[in-house]
A and B are shown apart, each in its own frame.
Chain A
Amino acid sequence: MAIAETTHAGHGDHHGKPQGLARWLYATNHKDIGSLYLWFAFSMFIFGGVLALCIRAELFRPGLQFWQPELFNQFTTLHGLIMVFGAIMPAFTGLANWLLPLMIGAPDMAFARMNNWSFWLLPPAALLLLISFAVPGGAAAAGWTMYAPLSTQMGMGMDLTIFAIHIMGVSSIMGSINIIVTILNLRAPGMGMMQMPMFAWATLITAYLIIAVMPVLAGVVTMVLTDRHFGTHFFNAAGGGDPVLYQHIFWFFGHPEVYIMALPAFGIVSHIIPTFSRKPLFGYTSMVYATSSIAILSFMVWAHHMFTTGMPATAQLFFMYATMLIAVPTGVKVFNWIGTMWQGSLSFETPMLFAVGFVCLFTVGGLSGVTLSIAAVDIQLQDTYYVVAHFHYVLVAGALFSLFAAIYYWFPKMTGRMYHEKLGKLHFWWSMIWFNVTFFPMHFLGLAGMPRRIPDYNLQFADFNAVASVGAFCFGLGQLIFLYNMISSIKHGQPAPQQPWESADTLEWQIPTPAPYHSFVEAPTLEVGENGAIKSMHGGKHH
């Protein structure tokens, strides 16, 4: 209540938004900050995408056509870093900012001013990465994994990257603290933990993962920094260090990071599939437990990224078994989504198309993941294009498709207008087709023996590389459909009703559309079913 009254008093009688640049610079409103995150993530997605197209242009034909190998390595490195830390993670944080308070009946995020800071740290970090292309020696070129001792060889671009990672780490830790405190403390009366929407569960668990592993990443890049400049030898055998130690620490961060980018996606589709199946989510309780067990298991599998470093057989076996085990809870989730669709009354608006596309393609990535988990076979596949195919199925068709699904699904609630349905469907089918044209052939390239991160290749790999490059450029162009749809619909879209989807039943659909600038300044009293389904709502004020 105290928070609500301060917010109220601060804006006088009009309850109007602050105007101009100040609204964004000094933003403390979760909706404004959510929008900032989302636009930032989209611009990073474009930046990272252009880097991807630079890579694919070079790989269109054998030989070196456009870039020197060193610059090519800078592109692959920055493409990875920007997509992971600049696009996908901020996009999920942005969605959480926008939606969590609406879904659980909170007036805002728990720490509104810290929220401002966690966003505004991101642009300087992105700037560091951007200008690193212009410093002597160019940007970091050791791959997004920045393995030592290669990363200790780099020029000052590496230092800029390390600082950027520090800053982004601080930002995401603060964002996570905010999410955890908001979910644990600001739920409206009547919404217990086991009634929370799956999206809240997924972001809660993700936030814990971020707090657990971002400091580990910050630590390991700091060790690289001190190895580079301050005479330490963490990763230098000549000084008593061990290069493989870097990989252990990095992947102790890196594997949970995979789920940091996947769990929120699971949460999103767990709302969209029930809505468009006109049926409640199948197996809500087992979904919560499956999500938690994936998160816990993710801490025990890191060395499956390191099967070729020459670990003892027992270590290989342990990490192989533990990795395979993740398939069980992941399978449960997929079965639950299909169980939700079974005997439903399905319709296929754009959010549902992206959600179903997500389930199909994420499963392809999951099954190639099972293949990769088998250490004996991974020996042949490690560091090949098979791995590139695998993680793009999980991250593009997984995380990115779920983000598109979420944006289309909540667009009416955020803007008060409907997006253009035909363009949305075009965007889906266009992305679906060209995504597969781009990434499916990479499985074959990897099987046939093409290593990843090479700027030039033997002629036997030419055909599939040409196909993948054509696919990538078409996929990239298709994202302009999305941009156009968003901008034109924000300005000229049809006004949206409060309930645009017939059967969406979570709390955000119980309040006016677009969501009032200050929603739930007074908490409502709720009666809630599983997955945040609202049975009745009393009270609750908005401005």
Chain B
Amino acid sequence: MLSRKTHLGILGGAPLGAAAANLNFQTPVTQVARDIYDLHLLLLYITGSIFVLVFGVMFWAILRHRKSAGHQAKHFHENTTVEIIWTVIPFLILVAMALPATRLILQQKSSAGAELTIKVTGYQWKWQYDYLDQNVRYMSHLATPQDAIVKTAGRNDNYLLEVDEPLVVPTGVKVRLLLTANDVIHSWWVPQLGVKQDAIPGFVRDTWFKVEQPGLYRGQCAELCGKDHGFMPIVVEAKSPADYQLWLAAKQKAAAANADDPNKVWKLDELKARGEKVFSQNCVACHQANGKGIPGAFPALDGSPIATKDKPAHIDIVLNGSKKNPAMAAWGKQLSDTDIAAVITYERNAWGNQTGDVVQPSEIKAARGGKA
């Protein structure tokens, strides 16, 4: 009756080209997700039958034992046998539900024997993936452009569920995730994998999955984590082990090539161009593309004294965060010297801030000096 293929299109022509609405869990692609799917179906059948049975009796009474149908009330008000029966039977049903549930919980919790370990860090509002033994580390940001959110233009089927760099894993391999967070609690959830695990700042939790088929599996942060909670999706790309090795090699090579020479002296335009990219990935959510911020919540950079005059204070607040407003993170932990230099240069030369200041990576390195 409720097979995995069951779909329902309501409202005639689905608005905005939306896919037909799904009535059940997404198609599972791991053994755990399949077990959850089947256990839920079992629960649905049991609870559904209870509902039909119990309310069948009630509606019988509503139809037959009405005053308007001339029914006289019988004045019984207890029956020990019946009461014992309807206490014991539900208890037995619950035991029957608990058995398969217990088995599945133990399976979900056994992350032993993993062949690949990836550290996942939640940030407001993006994910960082750190392949601990492979020396690969990168950020994964929402890829849906701001325009598509405010206007309807350019929305595709993966609206809000697309990222610039997915988490890439090999198929057929037990992958263990170590989760933590940098600021507040996030939750890493990919429905088709059957995995949801909170990422808790200051603590490490683990979970695992083993994908069978290559493909793209999408999810979202599931724990309210502030303003852009709805805009930090997760995409997992499962590749065959051979393709995964190719990807990994390419990624390692690119990382080596992209490593910036810390002593390079940059020109204003180069830094500004790079800074604009850094700004759009990290700063725009609060300070806004026009640099005006959100009055009352997030301060404007356009015309602010720090971003136009006090350069050391500017470097300090970006590196170490704000002491007054905990929403301003310490970016020194997340971004390279070059990226920080670039974004500060950009902020001092964008919008109405035409200071002409250039901040070099070496200055950031020096500013870190005392603290690192």
Contact = CB atoms under 8 A, between A and B. Distances in A.
Contacts, number: 323
Interface stretch (B112-120, B184-192, B300-308): B184-192
B54 A62 contact: no
A467 B9 CA distance: 12
Nearest to A376: B104
Interface in B72-131: 72-79, 82-83, 86-87, 90-91, 94, 97-98, 101-102, 104-106, 108-109
B61 interface: yes
Given A73-B224, A316-B109, A375 B101 contact: yes
B229 interface: yes
A380 interface: yes
Contacts of A324: 94, 97-98
A7 interface: no
B318 to A, nearest CB: 18
Nearest to A460: B19
A463 B23 CA distance: 12
Given A308-B222, A448-B26, A347 B40 contact: no
A61 interface: yes
A345 B178 CA distance: 62
Interface stretch (A83-91, A134-142, A188-196, A255-263): A134-142
B18 interface: yes
Contact of B185 (A150, A376, A459): A150
B208 to A, nearest CB: 12
Interface stretch (A44-52, A110-118, A332-340, A518-526): A332-340
A345 B72 contact: yes
A444 B22 contact: yes
Contacts of B73: 277-279, 343-345
Contact of B94 (A282, A310, A327): A327
Contacts of A141: 226-227
Nearest to B151: A63
Contacts of B326: 152-153
Interface stretch (B133-141, B197-205, B272-280, B356-364): B197-205
Nearest to B91: A328
B200 A243 contact: yes
Interface in A50-89: 61-64, 68-70, 73
Contact of A242 (B33, B203, B296): B203
Given A346-B61, A346-B71, A308 B187 contact: yes
A459 B161 CA distance: 10
A454 to B, nearest CB: 3
Contacts of A338: 54, 57-58, 61
Contact of A332 (B26, B86, B231): B86
Given A64-B150, A238-B202, A459 B43 contact: no
Interface in B220-239: 220-231
Contacts of B228: 69
B22 A383 contact: no
Given A327-B90, A460-B21, A346 B65 contact: yes
B105 A376 contact: yes
B65 to A, nearest CB: 5
A150 B225 contact: yes
Contact of B184 (A149, A360, A452, A459): A149
A320 B98 contact: yes
Contacts of B231: 69, 456
Interface string B296-325: 110000000000000000000000000000
B62 A346 contact: yes
Contacts of B258: none
Contacts of A448: 21-26
A411 B185 CA distance: 47
Given A147-B224, A310-B206, A341 B58 contact: yes
B294 interface: yes
A61 B17 CA distance: 12
Contacts of A432: none
Contacts of B3: none
B194 interface: yes
Given A243-B201, A279-B75, A383-B222, A363 B54 contact: yes
A464 interface: yes
Contact of A310 (B106, B183, B191, B197): B197
B59 to A, nearest CB: 9
A313 B219 contact: no
B11 A155 contact: no
Interface string A444-470: 100111011111111111111011000
Contact of B200 (A310, A356, A462): A310
B224 A143 contact: yes
B39 A379 contact: no
Q: Is the interface of A mostly helix, strand, loop or mixed?
A: helix
Given A375-B105, A451-B222, A458 B149 contact: no
B250 to A, nearest CB: 30
B180 to A, nearest CB: 9
Interface string A121-148: 0000000000000001110011100010
Interface stretch (B152-160, B263-271, B331-339): B152-160
Contact of B15 (A279, A285, A462): A462
Nearest to B48: A367
B50 interface: yes
A243 B97 CA distance: 32
Nearest to A143: B224
B219 A63 contact: no
Contacts of B289: none
A463 B206 contact: no
Given A152-B326, A460-B21, A449 B294 contact: no
Contact of A447 (B18, B25, B57, B83): B25
A236 interface: yes
Interface string A259-279: 000000000000000000111
Contacts of B90: 327-328, 331
A143 B185 CA distance: 13
A48 to B, nearest CB: 19
Interface in B13-59: 14-26, 33, 35-36, 39-40, 43-44, 47, 50-51, 54-55, 57-58
9 contacts: A73-B226, A141-B226, A279-B77, A363-B54, A370-B97, A376-B35, A380-B33, A453-B230, A456-B230
Interface of A: 61-64, 68-70, 73, 136-138, 141-143, 147, 149-150, 152-153, 155, 236-238, 242-244, 277-286, 308-310, 312-313, 316-317, 320-321, 324-325, 327-328, 331-332, 334-335, 338-339, 341-347, 356, 359-360, 363-364, 367-368, 370-371, 374-377, 379-380, 382-384, 444, 447-449, 451-464, 466-467, 530
Given A243-B200, A335-B86, A374-B39, 14 more contacts: A61-B16, A236-B202, A243-B203, A277-B73, A285-B78, A310-B197, A313-B105, A328-B90, A338-B58, A347-B68, A374-B98, A380-B194, A466-B11, A530-B77
Interface of B: 9-11, 14-26, 33, 35-36, 39-40, 43-44, 47, 50-51, 54-55, 57-58, 61-62, 65-68, 71-79, 82-83, 86-87, 90-91, 94, 97-98, 101-102, 104-106, 108-109, 148-152, 155, 157-161, 179, 183-185, 187, 189, 191, 194-198, 200-203, 205-207, 219-231, 294, 296-297, 326-327
The 6 closest A-B pairs by CB, nearest first: A237-B202, A454-B230, A310-B205, A376-B104, A367-B47, A345-B73
